[in-house]
C-alpha cells in the first residue's frame, strides 16, 4: 500500500486534533476508539474531578491496559480449560475404541 491509498483523517482526543494517514479499513476502528477514549475521559473527569488532561489520559491508558491484561489472562485460562476438555474427550474415545 502506498501513500496515495491512505485516507487523511483528523481525530480529536482530549481537546487536541490528531491528523492521521490511515488505511481505509482502519478508519472505522480508529474513529470508534477515539470516541471510546473521549467517553472514558469524560467519565473519569466526572467521577474523579480531575482537570489535568495528562492525568486523565494516564488513567485512561491504565484502564485500557488493565482490561487488555485481564482479557489476555482470561483467554489463556479458557485455552487451558479447552485443552483439558479435549484431552478428556480423547481419553474417552480411546477407552471406547479399546472396548470395541
- At residue 20 the predicted structure's pLDDT band, cuts being 50, 70 and 90, is very high
Say what the pLDDT of residue 78 is. 67
C-alpha cell read off for 69: 491484561
Whole-angstrom distance, CA of residue 22 vs CA of residue 26:
6
pTM of the model: 0.67
Say what the pLDDT of residue 99 is. 53
E strands present in the chain: 7-13, 16-22
- Checking if the pLDDT of 75 tops 90, the result is no
- At residue 23 the predicted structure's pLDDT band, cuts being 50, 70 and 90, is very high
Whole-angstrom distance, CA of residue 38 vs CA of residue 44:
10
How much is the average pLDDT of 72-86? 74
Q: What is the mean pLDDT of the chain?
A: 85
Q: Which of 17, 13, 20 is nearest to 54 (CA)?
A: 13
Amino acid at each position: 500500500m502506498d501513500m496515495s491509498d491512505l485516507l487523511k483523517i483528523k481525530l480529536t482526543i482530549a481537546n487536541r486534533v490528531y491528523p492521521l494517514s490511515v488505511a481505509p479499513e482502519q478508519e472505522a476502528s480508529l474513529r470508534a476508539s477515539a470516541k471510546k477514549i473521549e467517553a472514558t475521559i469524560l467519565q473519569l473527569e466526572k467521577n474523579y474531578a480531575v482537570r489535568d488532561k495528562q492525568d486523565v489520559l494516564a488513567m485512561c491508558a491504565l484502564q485500557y491496559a488493565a482490561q487488555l491484561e485481564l482479557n489476555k489472562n482470561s483467554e489463556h485460562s479458557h485455552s487451558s480449560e479447552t485443552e483439558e476438555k479435549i484431552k478428556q474427550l480423547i481419553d474417552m474415545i480411546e477407552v471406547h475404541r479399546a472396548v470395541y
